[in-house]
Chain A
């Protein structure tokens, strides 16, 4: 298993002195240098590093933006324009932050899909997985409040529509939903007061995310990383030390991803946004077609697929919250979908469903778009609630390799001695 003694050897007098008092270097060495990493992990395992990188990028660029941004209804829109036009390199910092949010979500979606494909949520990684869902929810809250800050038309109407989701509680306890919404707004409509508090929370939540990411990595290093075979680490020959092997792989993947990121930052900074957000917020006029940022579209499609207000809201929230129960919904004894010939098809159908919902969420809520959104919404829930439990019981898995080392190197006899 992953727990192992750090091979850290303090050399200088200072590090010996520190090691006896606060062995932080020993801990870092044990967790991030000689930490045993499965020798077969592929590039999908670099997304964790990517996510850590993007969290840091958002925090650094965000703090810089906060030095120039003004969170009031009168000044917010202009201050973002001021950042883009007047502040030295403000355009760059702002583009990095806005595009960074999108790439953060791109990475997290790949990361989640990786976990679903290789069964990384299965015992003993349930807590690790749930912490991941918590991070995902916090990211969504952060990005939602961040998107309100430029105070354009999309900012304003996204805040209006999403906060109004809580008014659906009125149909259970009359009046309570409205009270909650007015409490969130600090008034009888979305206003500068709302903007101001969202700004305070947008500044706070990323640091909460840092805390939960810490727990997520802690949980990961207690149980060890999963790998494409889904097998447990059984002997040292199944692993390589994290540095330099996994670290170099991470650095290479990060370089490629950042290249793509830079292309968007420099050449397509507004491609992922919406032109209406360059019109200042107007509380008296809704744009003809409001859409959220691309990374929220699948959930928006689910919300609109259901004709009843309360049920739509419940479906939308439960589509995310259900992920928490996936470790128990999946009954398969085999972790990796690589060895699950039947489930494999359903997995890709699920991926297709989420992408299709994303597409439908960007279309107006009428005619065939709504019909298809209903079909895919139905499959989304059927997949999690019916397919996962049933296929896991019915299916006969393909034979598993005896060990991680064997899956990479062939029969154990042929394997070279490692370490």
Chain B
């Protein structure tokens, strides 16, 4: 149709390109609200932080609380469990990164970096297997705790140690340490 070649564009070619670009950008802009509506909405994002009273949790016991619709594991570790967790060398870990939201991204996954100073018996973790999202077993007394004494995910067989670090199985990462702080000696605030 066009009698003018690409080397010799005329005003009509220019208008066609302009119109196409306009329509393209317009379509992309119009698409965004339809994509973004599926992201977590304002009410979901606003879900407040929670406070948890730790005083009823005796040494060796664990409780599970719900935060942002996810289970959070809180374990009062025995001295023995803390000792085993500390004895593990970083080179033995499948995921050597702390995965602690309070620390810089690349911090090493030492037991210290997974807990709060002077409160090392308390381990607070998002109780979601980093493989495909099942809830690992190990919270109740009678549960299988896996080969490393922490948690065991029955879905595809991931074993976590007493610091919630992945040791065996398909899960790629250590259990996440959520943002939390001690507001008093026996009370934490998660979120």
By a beta-carbon cutoff of 8 Å, the part of chain A in contact with chain B is 157, 160-165, 167, 171, 182-189, 191, 193, 197, 283-286, 288-290, 304, 306-310, 312, 364-366
Contact = CB atoms under 8 A, between A and B. Distances in A.
Given A160-B132, A284-B135, 19 more contacts: A160-B134, A161-B133, A164-B131, A164-B132, A184-B38, A186-B38, A186-B39, A186-B41, A186-B44, A188-B68, A193-B41, A197-B38, A284-B71, A285-B135, A290-B155, A304-B156, A307-B170, A365-B155, A365-B157
Interface residues on B, range: 20 to 34
Interface string B127-143: 01001111101000000
B154 interface: yes
Interface of B: 35, 38-41, 44, 64, 66, 68-71, 128, 131-135, 137, 153-157, 169-172
A162 B68 CA distance: 20
Nearest to A366: B157
B135 A188 contact: no
B56 to A, nearest CB: 18
18 contacts: A157-B155, A160-B133, A162-B132, A182-B40, A185-B40, A186-B38, A188-B68, A189-B69, A193-B41, A283-B70, A283-B71, A286-B134, A288-B154, A307-B170, A308-B172, A310-B172, A365-B156, A366-B157
Given A161-B134, A188-B69, A284 B38 contact: no
Contacts of A188: 40, 44, 68-70
A2 B38 CA distance: 46
Contacts of A366: 157
Contact of B170 (A171, A191, A193, A309): A309
Given A186-B40, A188-B70, A164 B133 contact: yes
Given A187-B40, A188-B70, A308 B155 contact: no
A169 B128 CA distance: 18
A217 to B, nearest CB: 31
B170 to A, nearest CB: 6
A188 B133 CA distance: 11
A161 B71 contact: no
Pick the 7 closest A-B CB pairs, nearest first: A189-B69, A164-B133, A164-B132, A286-B134, A161-B132, A286-B135, A160-B133
B140 to A, nearest CB: 10
A370 to B, nearest CB: 8
B3 to A, nearest CB: 37
Contacts of A365: 155-157
A164 B135 CA distance: 13
* Candidate in A163, A188, A304, A308 with the most chain B CB atoms within 10 angstroms: A188
Contacts of A164: 131-133
Nearest to A160: B133
A165 B131 CA distance: 8
B134 A284 contact: no
Contacts of A307: 169-170
A189 B154 contact: no
